[in-house]
């Protein structure tokens, strides 16, 4: 059935999209985190091959506590100087130190100089030339042995291939500048590009060990990953200083690997060119490939090298990256590879440098935000279309599909175009639509459930009042099996016992006892199960027997009064219809035969028989071209019969099939004739009560005959032995089901059902079981005729809708009104058809 509130969900989706679009300008951490997870997942299936490193990079790691933004040096200057000396002997290509280096004994040179001056000022030494020279020589030797700060600076200067990390201070606290010191390897860029390399709260700290940094081959900042855009997945290649742009350690490493000089490095707002490599930038940041960051590089222990006082042969002509083994903690957060693998500073420097050298390069063009907005709108409106039309479980399965659609879109752009899209907003739109739609469905379901429980309880009581016990039981079973419901079923079971409906009573007591003991239900159930209490009792259901008026009846009784039975024509709600011959008048008749003793309790048969003859007498007085003429009613022993005019034709059931529908004009003429017949009968005070296709005959000459006037009323308030409802529920009006007083408008509702079925080939109300069908008729709205058959005129649909109104106050006031509207519609259609033919 068409969703009745599509616009509401579209508006809801539009509001969610608008809110998310506004939030996208706030750069919230939540969405950054989602984008990082999505980016990592997409990168795992990156279609571009990741080249293996060529083993140029080798890591030397020290076992020390985790490194923070400005740590204490993980190696003493003595060990660091020794390590550089050992590496120089192995003739490595380049040494890159990933941690800042400070002075260990800044006062030592000054103290040694003061000691030397003091010794030389001593009169006993000053006047002795040989002693004075020895003191000077010893002081110099002492300096060479103990002043490891100076030794380290000299060794770095002599090596000429050592690059060192320059400390970066956070929270806006810059270290005190050291004189006029200016870092090496600074770059220039235009003002438009330089503004992207300024980070609020970050300052370049001038080192206290200026001599060492001045002696190095180059320096680079150690702010390896940025917290902007994709936290931990973007690299800051440069930082702005008062003197120019300071490169990062990975950029220096890539330059050295590619053999590019500073003059071969070009910096702009959108790209970084290092020799032959062109690396795209996103607001001054390099978007990193996560699979590069998690790669393992060849590594050795610094302690083992120092212990053996020699480096492995594999380090020859390699780029050596010196760092610590512990994970890097930057900006107060640990730096990790995809899905939580911790990374050391040395491993991160190598991975970023390899990404710069080999790619893959990821970019984010100016139109990326538009693509993200389109994706968010697509996913949001798909959710608005799909979620309301699916059950809760189906919605839970649709949500992962929408999330996967968003991730798949991001993966396609990443793999085939090298473009990073933020899919977090599209995913959030899908989740938000699912949560809101599910909440609405749950609230509606809760409201409908409460209403349905109350409706089932009332219908059950009404059916019980009418004596239709099996339907009452079905309704009570649709209510929660609490003490209130068990009490209702218990009272019904007692009434079933009193009426002799022992099978139904047994079923009711058994159902009550599913939730434990209740009153004396167990005792009554045991009594019902005894043969003394109920001989021949079948707890699985009533015994099946052959119908009372089966084919054997024809063989046994060829004559029924003055009527000679020829053949059976069909079966009605009660009894059978036979073709017979009136031997007195020598005319064919249709003979409806009923045996009331098969259907009703003995104490009711007399009352029903009397009412049947009274209603048949009234129906026999009806004289209308569209109403079957009743010739005679009577009894023959235990059988009651009604003789009617014999008709050559078919009932309308064969024209209610979607594959065998009548033309629209023919349907209108049929409904018009039925409405005319009902209008005549209603004026005579007769209500049909059982309008349905089986009771309408379409003759060969095209005219219509309505049958069974009065039969339904004769038995409608009665109960059968089995508690089965009489009549055809599909065509019953809501007031007829609820047991309310009926008038002519009940027939109008039934005619509306028939009209709907002739137009569409299906019933307006249908369900898997009878109780659900009755609920549909009394509570649910019928489908639109034009949705099932779009070519049906709008006026035709309006007539059907008015006839099928739940409240009889909203239906046609009379069959005459309905007939008049149909007549006007027929005239209008004929007029249109005539004009069409003339043109």
What integer pLDDT is reported at residue 670 of this predicted model?
Answer: 96
Same structural domain for residues 683 and 720?
yes
Residue 659: alpha-carbon gap to chain centroid: 37
Cα separation of the two ends of the chain? 39
> How is residue 350 written in tokens?
């190598």
- Rounded to an integer, the average pLDDT of 478-495 is 87
Residue numbers of the domain that contains 722: 650-838
562-594 confidence digits (pLDDT tens): 888 888 887 766 678 889 999 888 899 998 888
139-176 confidence digits (pLDDT tens): 555 555 456 777 888 888 888 889 888 877 654 444 34
Among 139, 150, 159, residue whose Cα is nearest residue 88: 159
Same structural domain for residues 262 and 322?
yes
Location of structure tokens 């994709």: 230
Q: At residue 19, does pLDDT exceed 60?
A: yes
Confidence grade of residue 250 (pLDDT, cut at 50, 70, 90)? very high
Instruction: Give the chain's mean pLDDT.
Output: 79
Cα–Cα distance measured from residue 833 to residue 839, given in angstroms and rounded to the nearest whole number: 10
Q: Is residue 479 part of a domain?
A: no
Q: DSSP readout, 654-685? A: GGSSGGGPPPHHHHHHHHHHHHHHHHHHHHTT
The single-letter DSSP state of residue 647 is -
Cα–Cα distance measured from residue 396 to residue 441, given in angstroms and rounded to the nearest whole number: 13
* Sequence-ordered list of residues with C-beta below 8 angstroms from that of 280, at least 6 positions apart, any chain: 270, 271, 286, 287, 361, 362, 363, 418
Cα–Cα distance measured from residue 712 to residue 705, given in angstroms and rounded to the nearest whole number: 17
Whether the ω angle into residue 360 lies within 30 degrees of 0, i.e. cis, is yes
Three-state SS for 484? helix
Same structural domain for residues 76 and 157?
yes
What integer pLDDT is reported at residue 604 of this predicted model?
Answer: 65
Same structural domain for residues 92 and 25?
no
Task: Pick the more confident residue, 749 or 38.
Answer: 749
Percent of the chain with pLDDT over 90: 19
Cα–Cα distance measured from residue 806 to residue 780, given in angstroms and rounded to the nearest whole number: 9
Q: DSSP readout, 214-237? A: HHSSEEEE---S-SSSSTTSEE--
Same structural domain for residues 674 and 784?
yes
CATH number at residue 569: 3.30.200.20
Same structural domain for residues 696 and 827?
yes
Q: What is the pTM of this model?
A: 0.53
Q: Is residue 600 part of a domain?
A: yes
Confidence grade of residue 718 (pLDDT, cut at 50, 70, 90)? very low
425-479 confidence digits (pLDDT tens): 899 998 988 888 888 777 766 665 777 788 888 888 888 887 778 888 988 888 8
Q: How many residues comprise the chain?
A: 839
284-328 confidence digits (pLDDT tens): 889 888 877 777 888 898 888 888 888 898 888 899 999 888 888
Same structural domain for residues 698 and 736?
yes
Q: Is residue 832 part of a domain?
A: yes
Q: DSSP readout, 10-77? A: HHHHHHHHHHHHHHTTTT-HHHHHHHHHHHHHHHHT-SS--PPP-S-EEEEEE--SPB-SSPPPSS-H
> How is residue 449 written in tokens?
């459930």
171-228 confidence digits (pLDDT tens): 444 434 444 456 666 777 666 677 777 766 566 666 777 788 888 888 888 888 877 7
Beta strands 94-97; 162-166: pairing state: parallel
What integer pLDDT is reported at residue 116 of this predicted model?
Answer: 57
Domain count, the chain: 4
Most confident of 7-11, 171-175, 637-641: 7-11
Mind spelling out the 3-state secondary structure of 681-731?
A: HHHCCCCCCCCCHHHEEEECCCCEEECCCCHHHHHCCCCCCCCCCCCCHHH
Q: At residue 389, does pLDDT exceed 80?
A: no
For the stretch 332-336, contacts whose Cβ atoms lie closer than 8 Å and that sit 24 or more positions apart, written own/partner, are 333/227, 333/231, 333/232, 334/66, 335/224, 335/225, 335/232, 336/232
Cα–Cα distance measured from residue 813 to residue 742, given in angstroms and rounded to the nearest whole number: 13
Same structural domain for residues 695 and 662?
yes
Q: At residue 18, does pLDDT exceed 50?
A: yes
The single-letter DSSP state of residue 282 is B
Domain boundary among 331, 358, 385: 358
Same structural domain for residues 434 and 320?
no
Cα–Cα distance measured from residue 504 to residue 525, given in angstroms and rounded to the nearest whole number: 11
Cα–Cα distance measured from residue 477 to residue 433, given in angstroms and rounded to the nearest whole number: 35
Q: Is residue 382 part of a domain?
A: yes
Domain boundary among 645, 679, 704: 645
Question: Of all helices (H) and strands (E), which one includes residue 650?
Answer: strand 649-651
Domain boundary among 445, 475, 502: 445
């Amino acid at each position: 059935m068409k969703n009745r509130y599509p616009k509401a969900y579209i508006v809801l989706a539009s509001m969610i999209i608008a809110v998310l679009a506004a939030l996208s300008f706030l750069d919230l951490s939540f969405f950054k985190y989602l984008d990082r997870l999505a980016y990592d997942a997409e990168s795992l299936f990156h279609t571009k091959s990741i080249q293996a490193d060529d083993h140029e990079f080798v890591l030397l790691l020290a076992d020390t506590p985790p490194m923070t933004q400005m740590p204490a040096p993980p190696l003493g200057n003595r060990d660091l100087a020794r390590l550089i000396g050992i590496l120089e002997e192995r003739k490595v290509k380049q040494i890159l130190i990933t941690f800042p280096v400070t002075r260990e004994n800044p006062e030592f040179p000054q103290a040694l100089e003061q000691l030397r001056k003091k010794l030389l000022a001593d009169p006993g030494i000053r006047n002795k030339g040989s002693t004075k020279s020895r003191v000077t020589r010893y002081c110099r030797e002492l300096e060479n042995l103990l002043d490891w700060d100076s030794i380290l600076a000299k060794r770095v200067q002599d090596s000429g291939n050592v690059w060192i990390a320059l400390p970066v201070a956070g929270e806006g606290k810059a270290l005190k500048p050291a004189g006029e010191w200016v870092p090496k390897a600074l770059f220039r860029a235009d003002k438009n590009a330089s503004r992207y390399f300024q980070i609020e709260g970050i300052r370049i700290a001038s080192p206290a060990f200026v001599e060492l940094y001045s002696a190095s081959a180059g320096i680079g900042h150690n702010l390896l990953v940025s917290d902007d855009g994709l936290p931990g997945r973007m690299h800051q290649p440069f930082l702005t200083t008062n003197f120019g742009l300071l490169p990062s350690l990975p950029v220096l490493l890539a330059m050295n690997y590619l053999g590019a000089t500073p003059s071969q490095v070009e910096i702009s707002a959108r790209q970084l060119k290092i020799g032959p490599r062109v690396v795209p930038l996103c607001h001054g940041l390099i978007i990193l490939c996560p699979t590069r960051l998690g790669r393992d590089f060849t590594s050795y222990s610094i302690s083992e090298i120092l212990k053996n006082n020699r480096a492995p042969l594999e380090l020859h002509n390699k780029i050596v990256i010196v760092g610590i083994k512990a994970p890097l903690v930057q900006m107060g957060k640990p730096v990790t590879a995809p899905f939580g693998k911790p990374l050391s500073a040395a491993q991160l420097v190598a991975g970023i440098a390899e990404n710069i050298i080999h790619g893959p390069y990821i970019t984010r063009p100016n139109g990326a935000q538009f693509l993200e907005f389109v994706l968010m709108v697509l996913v949001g409106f798909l959710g608005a279309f799909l979620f309301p039309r699916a059950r809760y479980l189906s919605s839970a399965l649709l949500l992962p599909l929408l999330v996967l659609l968003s991730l798949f879109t991001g993966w396609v752009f990443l793999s085939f175009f090298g473009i990073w899209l933020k899919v977090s907003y599209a995913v959030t739109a899908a989740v938000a639509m699912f949560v809101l739609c599910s909440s609405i469905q749950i609230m509606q379901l809760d409201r409908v459930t409460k209403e349905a429980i109350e409706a089932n309880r009332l219908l059950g009581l009404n059916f019980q009042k009418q004596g239709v016990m099996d339907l009452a039981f079905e309704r009570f079973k649709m209510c929660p099996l609490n003490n209130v419901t068990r009490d209702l079923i218990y009272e019904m079971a007692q009434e079933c016992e009193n009426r002799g409906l022992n099978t139904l009573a047994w079923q009711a007591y058994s159902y009550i006892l599913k939730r434990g003991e209740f009153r004396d239900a167990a005792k009554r159930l045991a009594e019902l199960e005894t043969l003394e209490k109920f001989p021949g009792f079948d707890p699985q259901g009533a015994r099946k027997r052959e119908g009372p008026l089966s084919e054997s009846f024809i063989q046994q009784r060829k004559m029924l009064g003055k009527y000679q039975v020829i053949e059976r024509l069909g079966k009605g709600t009660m009894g059978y219809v036979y073709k017979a011959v009136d031997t007195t008048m020598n005319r064919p008749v249709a003979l409806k035969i009923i045996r009331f003793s098969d259907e009703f309790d003995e104490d009711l048969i007399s009352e029903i028989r009397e009412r049947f003859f009274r209603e048949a007498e009234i129906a026999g007085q009806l004289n209308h071209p569209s109403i079957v003429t009743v010739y005679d009613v009577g009894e023959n022993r235990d059988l009651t019969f009604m003789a009617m005019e014999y008709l050559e034709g078919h009932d309308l059931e064969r024209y209610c099939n979607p594959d065998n529908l009548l033309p629209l004009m023919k349907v209108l003429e049929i409904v018009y004739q039925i409405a005319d017949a009902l209008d005549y009968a209603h004026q005579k005070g007769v209500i049909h009560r059982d309008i349905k296709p089986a009771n309408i005959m379409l003759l060969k000459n095209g005219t219509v005959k309505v049958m069974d006037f009065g039969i339904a009323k004769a038995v409608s308030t009665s109960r059968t032995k089995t508690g089965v409802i009489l009549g055809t529920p599909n065509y019953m009006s809501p007031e007829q089901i609820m047991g309310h007083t009926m008038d002519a408008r009940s027939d109008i509702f039934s005619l509306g059902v028939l009209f709907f079925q002739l137009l569409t080939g299906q019933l307006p109300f249908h369900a898997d079981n009878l109780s659900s069908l009755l609920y549909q008729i009394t509570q649910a709205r019928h489908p639109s005729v034009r949705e099932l058959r779009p070519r049906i005129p709008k006026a035709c649909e309006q007539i059907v809708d008015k006839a099928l109104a739940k409240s009889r106050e909203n239906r046609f006031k009379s069959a005459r009104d309905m007939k008049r509207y149909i007549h006007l519609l027929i005239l209008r259609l004929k007029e249109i058809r005539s004009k069409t033919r003339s043109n």
